[in-house]
Structures are given as structure tokens and as C-alpha cells.
Amino acid sequence: MKYIAIILLFLFSKPAISQTPEDQYYDFSLHLSEGNAEKAMSIAEKLIPSASVLKKKQQAIFYFKLARLYEDSKNGQKAIIYYQKSLTLEPDYYVPHLALGYLYLGNANAVATKAKAEKNNASVRQRYMTEYKGILRQAVPHLEKAMACDPNDQVLTSIKNIYLGLEDPAGFRSLDSRIDELNKNCVTVLTEDF
């Protein structure tokens, strides 16, 4: 009877298979491509501590996709963290630059709204304006890289408005020379090396 119980236990128990980080990466990508963001996020949270063992391109792709998940779920601060991690691994991939530029621009606009609300308190308003300009300075290099790699009027208008907000028309006038330099190593699609 004891042997039958052991055999039944063996037959009907679900074996525990530990997944490697690479398995988790592919599961994450699969669930994401199937539109199951919640499951993808769950897998990503388990993968984050061991993501450094993935190949460099896999890490860059993982962090980029994770940043997009956070951005889509309106968690801009975490999105910024993972877009930056992606860029650390693949600095010429322009898509995270575009996303970061607009996330920073959104943060700057939120601070500008606070500054406008303080019209009767000059010192607080000035503090907000200093913060606003600092955030704009973070946004502009990312938008310039995006403009260099994928020129379009919307990004150009955003860059122009940033330089107006920074009261730096000379910065805008010298944009073309920076764009020429930034255009040299654009990565437009991030793929794995097999």
C-alpha cells in the first residue's frame, strides 16, 4: 500500500521546474506579445534580480519592454529608470531616448503648473522654475537624439519649445550641428544576436 501511495504521488504531482533567467525572458516576451501585460509584469519582477546574466542585447530589450510596461501603466518614474538601464546597454537606440525626452517633458510641465499656481509667492515660484529648467535640460539631449535618428516636426517643435523655455535661442540655432553628430550611430531596431 505504501508503494502505491508513493507511485500515485509521483504520477500526479506537478514537478517543480526552476526557470533560468533566459527562460523567464522568453516567457516575459511571449506574454507581452500576447497582450498579457499583467502576467508579463509578474515574470519581469522575478527576472529583474537576475537579468544581468542575460546577454547584453537581451538585457537592453528586456529593460526597454519593461519601461514601456511601466509607462503604459502610468508609472513614469519606474519607466524612466528602465529606459535609462536600456540606454546604458544600447546608448544609440533612439526609441528610449524619445520616450525619456517626453517623460521628462511631462514632468517639467507638471512642475510648471505648480509654478503658475504660486503666482503670489515669488520665492516658491522661482524654486519651481529652477526645477522646471533643470528637467527641461534632462529632456533635450534625449529628444535631440530621437530627432537625429528619426526626424519629424513634432519632436522638432518640442525641442524648439524647450529652448524657448530655457531662454536659450543659441542652443536651438546650433541644433543642426548636434543633430549631424548624433545621427552617426543610430540604432532604429533592437534585435537579439543569435
Does residue 7 lie in a domain region?
no
Quick one: pLDDT at residue 11? 46
- Considering the domain architecture, whether residues 169 and 116 belong to the same structural domain is answered as yes
Residue with cell 504520477: 11
- Considering the domain architecture, whether residues 102 and 165 belong to the same structural domain is answered as yes
- Considering the domain architecture, whether residues 65 and 119 belong to the same structural domain is answered as no
- Considering the domain architecture, whether residues 190 and 97 belong to the same structural domain is answered as yes
- Considering the domain architecture, whether residues 70 and 41 belong to the same structural domain is answered as yes
Distant-in-sequence, close-in-space partners of 79: CB < 8 Å, separation ≥ 6? 67, 68, 70, 71, 99, 103
Give yes or no for a contact between 111 and 128, defined as CB atoms under 8 angstroms apart. Answer: yes
Does residue 1 lie in a domain region?
no
What is the number of structural domains in the chain?
2
Does residue 31 lie in a domain region?
yes
- Considering the domain architecture, whether residues 189 and 113 belong to the same structural domain is answered as yes
Quick one: pLDDT at residue 192? 78
Distance of alpha carbon 139 from alpha carbon 106, whole angstroms = 9
- pLDDT per position in the chain (194 positions), as tens? 655 545 544 444 444 455 899 999 999 999 999 999 999 999 999 999 999 999 999 999 999 999 999 999 999 999 999 999 999 999 999 999 999 999 999 999 999 999 999 989 999 999 999 999 999 999 999 999 999 999 999 999 999 999 999 999 999 999 999 999 999 999 999 887 65
Does residue 8 lie in a domain region?
no
Quick one: pLDDT at residue 119? 87
Output the CA torsion sign for 101, 105, 107, 108.
positive
Distance of alpha carbon 80 from alpha carbon 184, whole angstroms = 25
- Considering the domain architecture, whether residues 39 and 69 belong to the same structural domain is answered as yes
Quick one: pLDDT at residue 108? 97
Among 41, 74, 107, where does a domain finish? Answer: 74
Quick one: pLDDT at residue 68? 97
- Considering the domain architecture, whether residues 52 and 109 belong to the same structural domain is answered as no
Does residue 4 lie in a domain region?
no
Give the DSSP per-residue string, 37-84: HHHHHHHHHHHGGGGGGS-HHHHHHHHHHHHHHHHHTT-HHHHHHHHH
Domain assignment of residue 48, given as a range:
21-74
- Considering the domain architecture, whether residues 59 and 126 belong to the same structural domain is answered as no
Q: What is the DSSP code (8-state) at residue 183? A: G
